[in-house]
Amino acid sequence: MDATIYTTPTCGYCTQAKNYLNGLGVRVKEIDITRDSRAAEEMVRKTGQQGVPVILLKGSKIVGFDKNKIDRILGKN
């Protein structure tokens, strides 16, 4: 299973989210929005959010490191 996560280099919650997903065996594609302005625009267009992390997982959009929502989407609860 794969997830996409929009991040910035200084985002602690982004690091936590990546580590958590990797620990669950989810492959993470990281998109650094500070290096890719088109990706930043795409993130805002898809979610209406400007903050990170934004996680795309199994067709769901998760804003922030919401462990409970990740678990629900993955059927861990």
Q: Is the pLDDT of residue 13 over 80?
A: yes
Indicate whether this model's pTM tops 0.85.
Answer: yes
Pairing of strands 54-57, 2-7: antiparallel
For the segment(s) 2-73, the CATH number from 3.40.30.10, 3.30.930.10, 3.40.50.720, 3.40.50.150 is 3.40.30.10
- Range list of H helices, the chain: 12-23, 37-47, 67-73
Angle at 13 (CA atoms; ends 8, 62), nearest 5 degrees: 90
pLDDT at position 36, please? 93
Q: Is the pLDDT of residue 9 over 90?
A: yes
| CA atoms of 24 and 37, how far apart (whole Å) | 30
- 14-72 pLDDT tens trace: 999 999 999 999 999 999 999 999 999 999 998 898 899 999 999 999 999 999 999 99
pLDDT at position 77, please? 66
